[in-house]
Amino acid sequence: MKKYFYLLGAISTALFSSSCKKDYTCECVGSFSNSSVTYTDIFSIRDTETNAIVECEAESDEPTVYNTYSYFYDCKLK
């Protein structure tokens, strides 16, 4: 009977110690329409792939218009 408890304990430990969460890299690129200069922000997200995609893309901004130029900020999971 003890053997079964040890086996069940080992299997439970293996299942609960593994996780579907991984580290993903989100890359955001910002630019202005009146300039060729761009900048990049890179940060890590530790989550499932689906949640990481949603969280990364939520950082993107709609193009914003200032006077005569626009600002773009687009994020993609790498």
Q: Where are the domains of the chain?
A: 20-77
Displacement of CA 59 from its chain's centroid (Å) = 10
The mean pLDDT of 26-52, rounded to a whole number, is: 95
Q: Count of H helices and E strands in the chain?
A: 2, 4
66 pLDDT band, cuts 50/70/90, is: confident
Other C-beta atoms lying within 10 Å of the C-beta of residue 45: 20
11 pLDDT band, cuts 50/70/90, is: low
